[in-house]
Structure 1
Amino acid sequence: MTEAVDLNGIKVMVVDDSNTIRRSAEIFLTQAGYQVILAEDGFDALAKMIDHRPAIVFCDVLMPRLDGYQTCALIKRNPLFHATPVIMLTSKDGLLDRARGHMVGADQYLTKPFTRESLLQALATFAKPPSGSLN
């Protein structure tokens, strides 16, 4: 059923301190027709949220300065973005890690290394078409 919804062109933010991870996600998502906004850390992501208003955020957990849990919590506390899905990306997938992600409002947890299919499945599950879109 989600296949019928046109998600082409929606804005997706990828927040990760690893250039390799950011580039991999950008390639996968751009090839699938998404607009990709890249952020190097939580502070960079929060600054870009206002300008770009992504439909969904993929956020690394382990980052310097502001980690993914803090970043997710700040996004979810903001009235403009509390409904924006945040998908945590991490190599830490223990029960406590997942519980902490859930506590700060994360919508899903993807473990690294992620695949093109896992990113696109998360988008199909959580992303909404741009509001006001007449397509």
Structure 2
Amino acid sequence: MPHWAVMGSGRTLRETVLESSPILTLLNESFISSWSLVKELEELQNNRENEFYSKLADLHLEKYNFPVEMIICLPNGTVIHHINANYFLDITSMKPEDVESSIFSFSTNFEDPSTATYLQFLKEGLQRAKPYLQT
């Protein structure tokens, strides 16, 4: 099962897409969800007593961009998909016809473009994780 993490405060996400029933259902069924503050990850990164946690913190901080980064990773910490909250908000404020990327396309099933885009982000992460999780 992939891990889904948010680095930073993520208040905007909690007040919008993370209140959506389809998003919460997908997260509960398919992800192990967590929140990490950059300060906490930096402390883990510098704690050489536990190399495993230090390496996990390295992998996540490598992908972090201020203010909030949404990350989907494998249980071993390998990041398979991520998006910065500012970029996410920029995309969801655009008109659907102006969005070039098929990864973050809008769905007509939701009135709120941020919910549709976030759901697509999570589904893309699951697709990217499949080859690694098949036994």
TM-score by length of 1: 0.41
Greater percentage in helix: 2
TM-score, normalized by length of structure 2?
Answer: 0.41
* Higher gyration radius (CA): 2
